[in-house]
């Protein structure tokens, strides 16, 4: 699907942001592992979460979607019962990594794969960690397809903390069901810490105990049970970031609903960043209000804990006065694509003054011009380029734009509701 966007002077109105993908996937996997039935309310229904639902069913859970916003999950009681054959995680890296670990609780071999993008994302560090808990794992040159055979017995596990927080989240969700107690030790400082906080929050809601020793060591008693009966998924700051940035770069006033002011989500940082860059923004208890028209100013933005914000912050930086530096975000190269290079490539086509660094981007005030850009099969690249198109002279054409359905299927519809010129 191609999308054409023209410069838009003003966005106005209210939009309800979809539920969090990160919370939905963790809640679904926790519910899959639970004893009895769990009601997951207001889950995100998107391509990534449907992939997770499919994986949960292939690991033995029974799922029933009711009225579009209630999902009933009958869990496996801590022991996955995997079906034979290759289980497809599509484009969902979170699903792949967490499911690979929890599937290793079974003694039956389980294999996972995904689309071309997912098959390029590393998983060997997780397999090396699982091996310390008695799991046999195989991958193709360290990438999916991946095969594991348990049982995961627990014990002492050491893993790097600076590669992907998803590895640690996978271990944290698996270890409580092991026969032995577990101790997970980080061999390097943890990056993307808020995603681990998010995992710990879900575990707590399901009655699972984890002792966090200052994010360098985690002690997890074995033989626990996942015991929640209901879980409500909150709105997604990651998706909201694109609407908020679009509003900041145009005129008008926009209220983004379904955002919990006390959220643990890493990408809640977008509110702080926009304020730092000079946007007029107000966080209320369950929404964020932003007024466009203020000139944004450049800043140094450390995204070590929020790498998913890099694409949209790069657009803000290209439109802001002065210099913007995005730093400590080298792990953004290991996402659905190399997001640093992707944004550098596409914004350069639009006339941006930028320099690509190992760990981020350096951007100067630019006069963007519409042209044909490529979405890199990455939902966050597509949505960021759409926001850039709202600010660019002329028309911007984004190819491969259908991949927004990974997290935010109604993104273009919501932008049009606010007044964006989109075909």
Rounded Cα distance, 37 and 75, in Å? 6
C-alpha dihedral (298, 302, 303, 305), degrees to nearest 10: -150
287-291 vs 253-257, strand pairing mode:
antiparallel
CB 222 within 8 A of CB 179: yes
Tell me, yes or no, if 359 is annotated catalytic. Answer: no
What are the distances in angstroms from CA 325 to CA 41, 242, 247, 331?
39, 19, 22, 16
The torsion angles phi and psi of 159, rounded to 5 degrees, stand at -150, 150
119-151 burial: b if 16+ Cβ within 10 Å, else e: bebbbeebbbbbebbbbebebeeeebbbbbbbb
Distant-in-sequence, close-in-space partners of 319: CB < 8 Å, separation ≥ 6? 249, 296, 365, 366, 368, 388, 391
Catalytic residue selected from 236, 267, 308, 405? 308
Query: Which of helix, strand or coil describes residue 177?
Result: helix
Rounded Cα distance, 37 and 227, in Å? 9
DSSP H helices, 86-192, are 93-103, 124-131, 165-174
Rounded Cα distance, 106 and 24, in Å? 23
* Distance from the Cα of residue 21 to its chain's centroid: 6
Q: What positions carry a catalytic annotation?
A: 308
């Amino acid at each position: 699907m191609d999308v054409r966007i023209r410069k838009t002077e003003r966005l106005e109105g209210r939009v309800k942001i979809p539920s969090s993908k990160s919370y939905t996937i963790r809640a679904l996997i926790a519910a899959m592992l639970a004893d009895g039935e769990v009601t997951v309310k207001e889950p995100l229904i998107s391509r990534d979460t449907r992939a997770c639902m499919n994986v949960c069913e292939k690991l033995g859970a029974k799922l029933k979607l009711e009225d579009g916003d209630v999902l009933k999950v009958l869990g496996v009681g801590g022991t996955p019962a995997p079906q034979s054959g290759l289980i497809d995680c599509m484009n969902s890296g979170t699903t792949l990594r967490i499911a690979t670990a929890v599937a290793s609780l079974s003694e039956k071999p389980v294999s996972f794969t995904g689309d071309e993008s997912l098959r390029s994302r590393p998983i060997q560090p997780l397999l090396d960690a699982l091996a310390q808990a008695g799991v046999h794992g195989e991958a193709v040159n360290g990438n999916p397809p991946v095969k594991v055979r348990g049982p995961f017995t627990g014990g002492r596990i050491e893993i790097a903390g600076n590669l992907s927080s998803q590895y640690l989240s996978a271990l944290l969700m698996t270890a409580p069901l092991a026969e032995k107690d577990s101790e997970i030790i980080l061999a390097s400082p943890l990056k993307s810490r808020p995603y681990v906080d998010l995992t710990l929050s879900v575990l707590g809601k399901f009655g699972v105990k984890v002792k966090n020793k200052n994010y360098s060591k985690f002690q997890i008693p074995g033989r626990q049970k996942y015991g929640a009966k209901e879980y409500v998924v909150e709105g997604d700051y990651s998706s909201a970031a694109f609407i908020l940035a679009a509003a900041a770069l145009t005129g008008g006033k926009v209220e983004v609903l379904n955002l919990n002011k006390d959220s643990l989500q890493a990408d809640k940082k977008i509110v702080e960043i926009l304020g730092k860059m000079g946007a007029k923004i107000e966080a209320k208890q369950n929404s964020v209000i932003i007024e466009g028209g203020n000139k944004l100013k450049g800043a140094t933005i450390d995204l070590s804990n929020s790498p998913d914000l890099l694409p949209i912050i790069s657009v803000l930086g290209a439109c802001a006065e002065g210099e913007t530096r995005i730093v400590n975000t080298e792990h953004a190269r290991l996402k659905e694509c190399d997001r640093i290079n992707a944004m550098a490539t596409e914004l350069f086509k639009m006339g941006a003054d930028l320099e690509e660094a190992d760990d981020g981007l350096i951007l100067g005030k630019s006069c963007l011009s519409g042209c044909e850009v490529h979405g890199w099969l990455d939902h966050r690249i597509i949505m960021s380029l759409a926001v850039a198109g709202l600010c660019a002279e002329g028309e911007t054409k984004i190819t491969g734009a259908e991949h927004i359905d990974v997290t935010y299927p109604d993104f273009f519809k919501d932008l049009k509701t606010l007044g964006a010129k989109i075909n």
